[in-house]
Structure 1
């Protein structure tokens, strides 16, 4: 993941243990470092630097007097002036001298120069991952030796929840998975992980594209001896939802690690056919939509939701951040079996001096028709514009909503009406 070079000694180790604080669009990486002298040099591969948010590299617990960043040459630069092998059109390989790694300029035995392709080159030693990519170094000048924490923000690691609502004739269950994405060629050995959900904005450009999604829970479990970590709720932090993984795990390069997340209990669940619209004096007709309404006994971070009825997918939507016990309501599209006819009768009660209506009474009548062999609950909400509005004789103030709630019998019809008085005087 990172190679730490301390003082004059070159100490290159394997991936170091790190703490990750993962947010929906970025991650804070925190890694312990130790300086044995007055210089600490951190080397980041180009893959890590590409996702790093500028201006976020910091050294916590170690005071420093200056920090210098520079780009180092790639691995091929170490072979300049040395012999490599170039594959010809006939498949044979001839020894050539690598003159310049930047553009792969080589010189053959006859002293002629040409530019090669990397895939046509062969080497006496195994090349590292991404041999053409340079690395970035950040050298801190310190007053003395000590230990601290290197931290930075990266767009390359993110997480998101995704929900499944399984509904049946007897009720519904809601469950969630957490997808932790690593969009780099670097593997992270994660010592401690916290997940945060909520609205957190940082500067530094758009998120990186996510890697091709696949579930790598088996990879994480294998690294832990089939003891994948669990996600525990830590409560609220200044409006953010906070969670923690129960054990260390490995986040492979270019991967999506998926772990079981929430299994909240639903304290309320309803299906209904609905229509949300704005009042108009024109007649209309159409179909109602398939609506769901639920409440959960836990906070729900925002994420995509897949709905299954009797084991089959009936739609997908996205829910926003939802507090414990707050109502979640969404539509999954039209229900062609539940139709409505809407008729409006208009009576102008008062006009102004120019003859324009200022106080008007409307009688709105809905006729609902259910083509199913079971009863259906229907709900209609019409938002009404006007300075003063009354609905069915009750003053409702400015811009209220008229509502109808009705049960439609199987293969039956139901008619309901409401009366609006709109006063714009």
Structure 2
């Protein structure tokens, strides 16, 4: 028969860390009258309504607030390390007004100066469950303050994009509570939880300044600390499976997640495909432009799902930029611009060929030039599409030039391939095309509605 008196110690503790909250799951050999206690700082982080018992039906649940009321109790106050403690009686518990029992004088003490005759009652909340029967049960609840994220580091080692790619998972415990856990799951993906008003209210309370308090550890807790301190190996992260659109990663060994601390561990070993070139994307205009091309890096995940997170990119050890990777499934690509290259330019000349009331024809002449001492690859995109017009693009020039201009639904593209290479020391590539624009006629009723808006 399990005892019905006093809190019961958890046999197994698991943290499931989602993108926006954490679920704590603790397994117990629970008596019929199951009692658990939460310190004030912990309880303030619990999402209202998320406390539940799994495994045994609940007959009733009761929440009892516990206050640390020291009034009329005898304590000892040590004002400095060089003097003996003074035996005192607490007059007011709120501001710790005490009376020295020897001198009969009154003064205000500090919490860190107190020594207790008996174990002080903690400030917090006690939850009492009446279960249908005793047995194995799991207590679960959701909290804020514990999160996880991924950071990536990419180092490009050579011009042909040989590289190293590293991923690190950071588990952040922003609470004041230490969690001794047996297992951790980190879940990547989108989880929709309706925001409870109680969570916001409790979080605001948790931000308020709380008084420090002393705590006396029992012998059982000391033995438990010793068990966890013996777990010296660094926890390792295992990639598990996909469940309902969520990707699950786990740590299957005990460790302590310290309060206000960050634990950083090597994450998944992913194979990446990296390419780089120079490129530019412009909106169609009817005037001449001279622009510098942008340095572009294209990243593709070959064999792993990648959770979103910040990426630091270095080339031969030099920092060349940072970006934020979105969530990337296998085969997804992400293009990152790292600033302009002053040695590679575009001279875009535009000439009006004809114009009527509702249409116009423009000739566009592109000249790409490279003054580097090495050849470079490049790509270009021009967006012509507009809600107020229809357009048609007709490539001009030689057969080779026309074949490199790809007409798209939005405009034109000159894609990065072996033909689109600018030779070193002043190498140029020239492209020409015509843009035929037909402006959409709007009815009088449409114009009136626009004026009203």
When the two structures are superposed, what TM-score results if normalisation uses the length of structure 2?
A: 0.77
Q: Match for residue 186 of structure 1?
A: 177
Contact 1:183 1:255 survives alignment (8 Å): yes
CA offsets per residue over residues 380-414 of structure 1, 9 Å max, x none?
A: 2222223432222599686x132234322223242
Residues 252-274 of structure 1, C-alpha deviation per residue, up to 9 Å, x if partnerless?
222211211122112x3211122
- 1:224 matched to which residue of 2? 231
SS at 1:47 equivalent:
helix
5+ residue gaps, structure 2, are: 205-227, 396-404, 441-453
Partner of 1:392, secondary structure, is: strand
Q: Give the equivalent residue in structure 1 for 2:278.
A: 273
Trace 1:10-89 onto structure 2 (pairs within 5 A): 10-11=6-7, 13=9, 17-37=12-32, 39-74=33-68, 77-78=69-70, 80-85=72-77, 87=79
Matched residue of 2:43: which SS? helix
Give yes or no for contact 2:47–2:143 (8 Å, CA) kept in 1. yes
* Larger Rg, first or second structure (1 or 2): 2
Indicate the residue corresponding to 1:419 in structure 2: 434
Instruction: Note the 1:150-299 alignment, pairs <5 A.
Output: 150-169=139-158, 170=160, 171-202=162-193, 203-204=195-196, 224-226=231-233, 228-266=234-272, 268-296=273-301, 297-299=303-305
Within 1, Cα distance between the matches of 2:109 and 2:432? 81
Is residue 392 from structure 1 mapped to residue 387 from structure 2 by the alignment? no
Q: When you count helix as a share of all residues, which structure comes out higher?
A: 2
CA contact (8 A) 1:33 1:149 kept: yes
Listed one character per residue, the Cα deviations across residues 185-234 of structure 1 (whole Å, up to 9, x for unaligned) are 3222222222211122322457989xxxxxxxxxxx975333x3332222
Deviation digits for residues 357-394 of structure 1 (CA, Å, limit 9, x no counterpart): x2222223333333432222222222222343222259
Cα separation, 2, equivalents of 1:162 and 1:126: 48
Q: Contact 1:235 / 1:241 at 8 angstroms: preserved in 2?
A: yes
Which residue number in structure 1 is paired with residue 111 of structure 2? 118
CA distance in 1, matches of 2:36, 2:269: 41
How many angstroms apart in 2 are the aligned matches of 1:66 and 1:408? 77
Task: Give the Cα–Cα distance (whole angstroms) in 2 for the partners of residues 347 and 424 of structure 1.
Answer: 16
Q: Mind listing any 5+ residue stretches in structure 1 that lack a counterpart?
A: 1-5, 210-220, 352-357
Distance 1:167 1:283 in 2: 36
RMSD: 3.2
Offset at 1:293? 0.5
**3-state SS of paired residue (1:423):** strand
Quote the offset at 1:108 in angstroms.
Answer: 3.5
Q: Cα–Cα, structure 1 residues 237 and 100, in superposed 2: closer, same or farther, change >3 Å?
A: same
Hey, what's the Cα distance between the residues in 1 that align with 2:156 and 2:229? 33
In structure 1, the partner of 2:339 is: 333
Task: Report the CA distance shift for 1:240/1:277 in structure 2 as closer, same or farther (over 3 A).
Answer: farther
Q: Partner of 1:320 in structure 2?
A: 326
Partners in 2 of 1:252 and 1:16 — Cα distance?
Answer: 20
Aligned length: 391
CA separation of 1:335 and 1:51: change in aligned 2, threshold 3 A: farther
Label 1:382 to 1:99 Cα distance change in 2 as closer, same or farther (>3 A): farther
| Corresponding residue of 1:355 | none
Whether the 8 Å CA contact 2:44–2:203 is kept in 1: the answer is no
Select 1:107's aligned residue among 96, 99, 103: 99
**TM score, norm. by length of structure 1:** 0.81
Task: Tell me which moved more, 57-66 or 329-338.
Answer: 329-338
